Structures are given as C-alpha cells and as structure tokens.
Amino acid sequence: TPPAARPGGPLRFDPIASVPDDVDAVTVPAGFGWRPVIRWGDPLFADSPDFDPEHPDADAQERQFGYNNDYTDVIVTDPRGRRALLCCNHEYTNRAIMFPPTSSVAAEAEVLRTLMAAHGFSVVQLERRGRGKPWRYRRGARRNRRITATTVFRLDGPAAGSELLRTAADPSGTRVHGTLGNCSGGTTPWGTVLSGEENFNGYFRADPQAVGSKRYGLTDSPSSYGWEQIDPRFDARSADHANEPHRFGWIVEIDPTDPSSTPRKHTALGRFKHEGANVRVDRENRVVAYLGDDEKFDYLYKFVARDRYRPGRSKAARRHNLGLLSEGDLYVARFEGTRRPGNDNLGTGRWLPLVEDGRSAVEGMSVEEVLVFTRLAADRLGATPMDRCEDVEPSRETGKVYVVCTNNSDRGVKTGKPGADAANPRDANKNGHIIELTETGGAADAQTFAWDLFMVCGDTDQAGTYFAGWDGPVAPISCPDNVAFDSENNLWIATDGQPGSIGRNDGLFRVPLDGPERGHLTQFLAVPVEAETCGPVIHDRDGSVFVAVQHPGEDGDWADQHSAFPDYVPAGARPAPGEWRGPRPAIIQVTRESR
C-alpha cells in the first residue's frame, strides 16, 4: 500500500474518467473498493423482519432501514474509533421499482402505509475492529432508531402554537406527525443532526386559493404519493386539515445519541423548500445556520442564533446548545456585482432582515406570518432570485461559505422571470455553479458579505465554464448538489442530474480551495445508472469515503429494473427463480483495498 493511503494520512487517488450514463456500476479509483454499509430494508432491530419487497408490510418497514438517503453523516463516538452513529434521512420513495403493482384496495392501503414508513430518518450504530477497518452496522444496537412519516415531532420557536399551525387533531399547534422530503442537512457542533424538509408540497392536496398555496406549489390535484387515501390530514382542503401543510417545510433537529428524544421542527429558521442547514460558530461563539431554498428563482437565507454557543461537553453546555436554533434572527440574501467575460465574477451583498431582534422586520406581516410564509416575506424585500440553492456549507477552517446552485433551465427563458446576473451568470443554466461567500469580518452576524464565483460547471469544452482560475484540465461536472470538506479544506462535490445535462452518471468530485491547485477539479467516483450521489462523508484521515446512492434505476419499473445495485451478481450468473434483482438505495463505504 502506498504510504499516502495509510490511515492518518491524506487521501490520494488516481482520478476516474467520467462515466457514461448507461453504466450500472459503482466506479471507484484504481486500488479502491466499495461495499454497502446498509441498504433499504435491512433489519435494524432484533425483532425486525427480513427484507421482502414481494410483500409490502408497513410494520416491517418501520423496523427496517428506509428508502432513498440524502444527507448522511458517520459520527465517530468513541476515542478508539471503533463505534459510530450513521445518521441519514430517507427523502422519498420510488414505488414503481420497489413493490409489485397492487390488485386490491387492501393491498394498495398497505403499500401506501409501507411507503410512509420508508420515509424519514435512521440512526444506526456502526462498529469495526479498529481504525482503517471497514464499518459494519449492528442490528439491535441500543441507539438504532427509525423516524417515519408518523413519528411525533415538536414544533418550537416563535411560530410554535400559532393559529397558522393548529389543526383539528392538534389544537396546540406544536405536535406534528412525521417529517417528509428530507433532503440535505448538517451535523451541528453540539452533535445533533439537522435535516431540511424540501419537496413537502408533493404530499398534499390543498386549496389552491389559500394563502401561500401558489408560492409553495400546493395544488388541488391528487398528490403524487396518494397518502390522502389513507390519512385525511394529507387532504388540506377541509378546515380540519387546512394548516397541515404549514407544519412541513421546516428544518428538523434530531439528537442521534438519545433514541427517546423528541425530534424538533425549528420555526425560527423559516418555512420554505429547505435543502438543508449547516451551522458555523465564529470566533466570538456566535452561531449562524446557512439555508437554501431549492426552487428555481428562490432565495438564500441565514439564521443567526440569539444566544452564543457554549463550548465544552458538560450537561449544562449541551442543554444550552440544544436551544440555540429556537430563537434568533432570519435574513435573506441580496447579491450585487459585475459580470465579466470569463465568468470570474465577484461582488458584494447584503443580508436583508426578515426577523430582527426576534420581531418581524417585514411591514404588514407578524413574526408568525414571516416564519410560516417566509417566501412571501422575502419576495417583498427584493432578495436575489437564485439558480436553486442546494447545499450551503461553511468551511470550518476559513469560514468561507460555499453556495451550491444546482441549475436553472428557466433563467432568461421563462417569461416574467429574471435573466442572468453577476451571481447567476448564465441563461438556461443547465449545469449549475458554486458561489464562494465571505462574511464581512468573518462574523456570523455580519450584515454584508463579499462573494466570487468559484466554479461555473459544465462539460470541459463548454463556453462559460470557470474553475476558480485553474486553466489546466478538469473533470466535466454538472448539477452540483451536496458538498463536504476533508481535513485539508478541499471541497468534495456530489452531483445530481448529470445524466440529463451532460450524459454522464452522477459522481463525487474533489477540488482544492486554496493554494496553487485551487480549482483543479478531479473525479473520485461515479454512482450507478439513474442514481444521484448523496452524503458525502469524507474521512480522509481514516482512508474512507461514504456516499449515499440515492434512487438507482429510478426510471425502471417492477418488471423492468434498470439497476441491480448494490447486490450485483457476477457477470453471467442468473438470479435464482423468484430472486429479486431490483436496486436497493444504500450507504456505501469506499476504502483502499489491501493488497
């Protein structure tokens, strides 16, 4: 094994070539291997039934790993590095490739209940024999937990209990069943996990005339998931359930160390199609969370906590820090700057207050209205419409914030919508870009910032691409989505959408942010056909990279599966009669193979 690959050293690899979009395989660099850590349907508890997609069973799914992971973290919990908590969400389901078509009303109801149980979040204990060894999940471990579309959450913060959040079933406006559409997220410095409720609108049927319906994409058509057939709260047209959609679209906080804790939805961080949330603590222990609204022409936000972070591991510090996201101020970003011929654009910007000193900063709206209808409030302030903010993550090392704009094919194309500007430099932006944002004085609560374009993505020969000034060869990249940092402050970028934009499987890329190699983008892996790369988790000092392979083979159906990830049979081997060969979304670990 080359010295650089030893656990404790940085991760070196020979980049892979871009992979065509019909390849059903995980592609990793030469000398590396991959293995699933846990797959959809794997049993979590001692009494969990085994995976059996032929017979959808909601009770079984409640006790098994859920479907379609997006945000993922592996939090090492002991000093010898032998135990960890795998924390990941289950964003949505691809029913057509999961279960056989139904033939009765009862079977249909059971499928719908099973899909509800496949959503949400999992905490799973991992174990291994020592550093550098592969992780395995432990069935029946004390901290294993499933959170689903029916688990009780507590709403907290200034809008909790508001009339806008009350339903017939919950007159208190503080107790919500479930979390939906959980996309990216972040792990806080105090050890909890945040997750963004993103495309929640697709689960509801609603009154299109109700306040906010149009702006939040709520319509009167049957929902794409059909849950209103078995649970009336997903039909928000009746007075009893009219506010149920208001109870989704939040940042949720889950304490993975305490399986009995009640997860929370933080109203202080506003309600929109939350991609995720990443927290930074500045030198003065002020706390900021960066937030993206992933919709074409929607906005970038930040939340600044009222109270400061309390360092240390004491119980009192922990209790204090668990309250940080409950009270504070909310801002939305306005960008100014100049467009330059090489797309090496830069400029300044301002955080426009929506909630300031705990009070509404938007004329004619109460603080509760600002938090529940945040998009409507931000519209009034003249915030900058962005090209779909996905992950927005600060570097713990430099404090610079990386704002990932995945794409926006409607910019400069759709009537009534804005064309290119300095921070969103291309019309019909199908490949996306990444903005580097620097808070004035490095302060979490700065009112202004400077920014530059770090990367304007695309195939390498495409006009308008820009890689932070690097003029050597780079990997083609499109549709950046989740990002993470390694121990040397390199940015790792996962993509979602390359098959549609550049005809390549989605992948994971690495790019240095500083030094002479700044902008030198290389590709580390590619995921199988029709999958999105999620996670990622970079344990470079440990020789390990984890990714969540989300929605492999999603364009297939039960009879015509496009992917057999991750349980590939050797070439030429035939599945046994009745053996299921569809895909199973999974978390995989990539390590250097020992020789």
374 vs 544, beta carbon nearer ligand FEO: 374
CA distances from 381 to 11, 388, 573 (A): 45, 19, 61
Pairwise CA distance, residues 257 & 526, whole Å: 32
Stretch that binds Ca ion, among 36-44, 48-56, 179-187, 363-371 (CB under 5 A): 179-187
User: Does residue 496 interact with Ca ion by CB under 5 A?
Assistant: yes
- Considering only residues 325 to 354 of the shown chain, the ones binding Ca ion according to CB under 5 A are none
* 564 is a contact residue toward ligand FEO (CB under 6 A): no
Cα separation of 475 and 343, whole Å? Answer: 18
Nearer to Ca ion, 296 or 414 (CB): 296
- Quick check: 506 binds ligand FEO (CB under 6 A)? no
Helices (H) and strands (E) in the chain, counts: 7, 30
Min dist CB 535 to ligand FEO, Å, is: 13
Residue 198 contact among Ca ion, ligand FEO, none, beta carbon within 5 to 8 Å by kind? ligand FEO
Shortest distance in whole angstroms from residue 98 CB to ligand FEO: 18
Under DSSP, is residue 58 helix (H, G, I), strand (E, B) or coil? helix
Near Ca ion in 103-162, by CB under 5 A: none
If one asks whether residue 197 binds ligand FEO (CB under 6 A), the answer comes out as no
State the nearest-atom distance from the C-beta of 501 to ligand FEO, in Å.
Answer: 15
- Which option in ligand FEO, Ca ion, none does residue 298 bind, with CB closer than 5 to 8 A by kind? none
In eight-state DSSP terms, residue 244 is G
- Tracing tokens 């990793």 back to the chain, one arrives at 28
Q: Are 160 and 174 contacting, i.e. CB atoms less than 8 angstroms apart?
A: yes
Q: Are 558 and 581 in contact (CB under 8 A)?
A: no
Of the candidates 390, 421, 506, 530, which one interacts with Ca ion according to CB under 5 A?
A: 390
Minimum Å gap between C-beta 494 and ligand FEO is 11
Toward ligand FEO, which CB reaches closer, 128 or 271? 271
Binders of ligand FEO: how many residues, by CB under 6 A? 7
Give 115 or 183: the residue with its C-beta nearer to ligand FEO: 183
Using the 8-state DSSP alphabet, how is residue 299 labeled?
-
Residue 554 touches which of Ca ion, ligand FEO, none (CB < 5 to 8 A by kind)?
A: none
Task: Kindly state the smallest distance separating residue 216's Cβ from ligand FEO, in Å.
Answer: 15
Joined tokens for residue 129 = 């024999």
- At its nearest, how many Å lie between Ca ion and the CB of residue 219? 21
Dist. CA 463–CA 459, nearest whole Å: 9
Minimum distance of Ca ion from residue 152's CB (angstroms): 26
Q: Count the Cβ atoms, other than its own, within 10 Å of residue 224.
A: 12
Quick one: 287 or 404, whose CB is closer to Ca ion? Answer: 404
> Considering only residues 393, 421, 436, 439, which one is a binding residue for Ca ion as defined by CB under 5 A?
393
Of residues 66 through 85, those in contact with ligand FEO by CB under 6 A are 70
- State the nearest-atom distance from the C-beta of 492 to ligand FEO, in Å: 17
Pick out residues in 246-275 that bind ligand FEO (CB under 6 A). Answer: 275
| Residue 82 CB coordination number (10 Å) | 16
Which CB sits closer to Ca ion, 89 or 162?
89
Identified binder of Ca ion from the candidate list 91, 231, 244, 481, rule CB under 5 A: 481
Reply yes or no: is the peptide bond before residue 566 cis, omega within 30 of 0: yes
Q: Which two tokens stand for residue 75?
A: 């939090």
Cα distances (Å, whole numbers) of residue 474 to 196, 432, 466, 494, 585: 32, 16, 10, 16, 29
- In the complex with Ca ion, the residue whose CB is nearer, 214 or 396, is 396
* Contacts by residues 7-13 (CB-CB < 8 Å, ≥ 24 positions apart): 7/131, 7/132, 7/541, 7/542, 7/543, 8/131, 8/541, 8/542, 9/541, 9/543, 10/486, 10/487, 10/488, 10/540, 10/541, 11/486, 11/538, 11/540, 11/543, 11/545, 13/524
Helix or strand run (H / E) with residue 96: helix 95-98
Comparison of 206 and 534: residue with beta carbon closer to ligand FEO: 534
Tokens encoding 416? 């009534």
Q: Residue 554 carries which side chain, given as an amino acid letter?
A: E
For 521, counting Cβ atoms within 10 Å of its Cβ (0-12 exposed, 13-18 middle, 19+ buried), the class is: buried
DSSP character at residue 108: H
Q: DSSP class of residue 112? A: H
Is 234 within 8 Å of 203 (Cβ atoms)?
yes
| Exposed/middle/buried for residue 416 (C-beta within 10 Å: 0-12, 13-18, 19+) | exposed
Of 117 and 183, which CB lies nearer to ligand FEO in the complex structure? 183
Query: Least separation, in Å, of the C-beta of 358 and ligand FEO?
Result: 29
Per-residue binding letters, 409-448, with ligand FEO (x by CB under 6 A)? ----------------------------------------
Sign of the torsion angle spanned by Cα atoms 39, 195, 382, 457: negative
- Out of 42, 73, 110, 198, name the contact with ligand FEO by CB under 6 A: 198
**Cα separation values, 147 from 55, 210, 269, Å:** 22, 30, 21
Question: Does the footprint of ligand FEO cover residue 231 (CB under 6 A)?
Answer: no
Q: Stretches 129-137, 283-291, 387-395, 413-421: which one binds Ca ion (CB under 5 A)?
A: 387-395
List the one residue from 62, 235, 387, 391 that touches Ca ion (CB under 5 A): 391
| Among residues 24, 235, 294, 540, the one that binds ligand FEO under rule CB under 6 A | 294
3-state secondary structure of 549: strand
In the complex with ligand FEO, the residue whose CB is nearer, 91 or 156, is 91
Q: How far is the CB of 296 from ligand FEO (least distance, A)?
A: 11
| 387 touches Ca ion (CB under 5 A) | no
Site for ligand FEO in 379-398 (CB under 6 A): 390
Of these, 115, 183, 279, 531, which contacts ligand FEO (CB under 6 A)?
183
d(CA 390, CA 105): 38
Give how many residues touch Ca ion by CB under 5 A.
8
- Closer residue to ligand FEO in complex, CB, 141/378: 378
User: Is-contact 75 85, C-beta < 8 A?
Assistant: yes
Is 486 one of the binding residues for Ca ion (CB under 5 A)?
A: no
Q: Taking CB within 5 to 8 Å according to partner kind, which of Ca ion, ligand FEO, none is near residue 393?
A: Ca ion
Q: Where do contacts with ligand FEO occur on this chain (CB under 6 A)?
A: 70, 91, 183, 198, 275, 294, 390
Q: Where do contacts with Ca ion occur on this chain (CB under 5 A)?
A: 183, 390-391, 393, 481-482, 484, 496
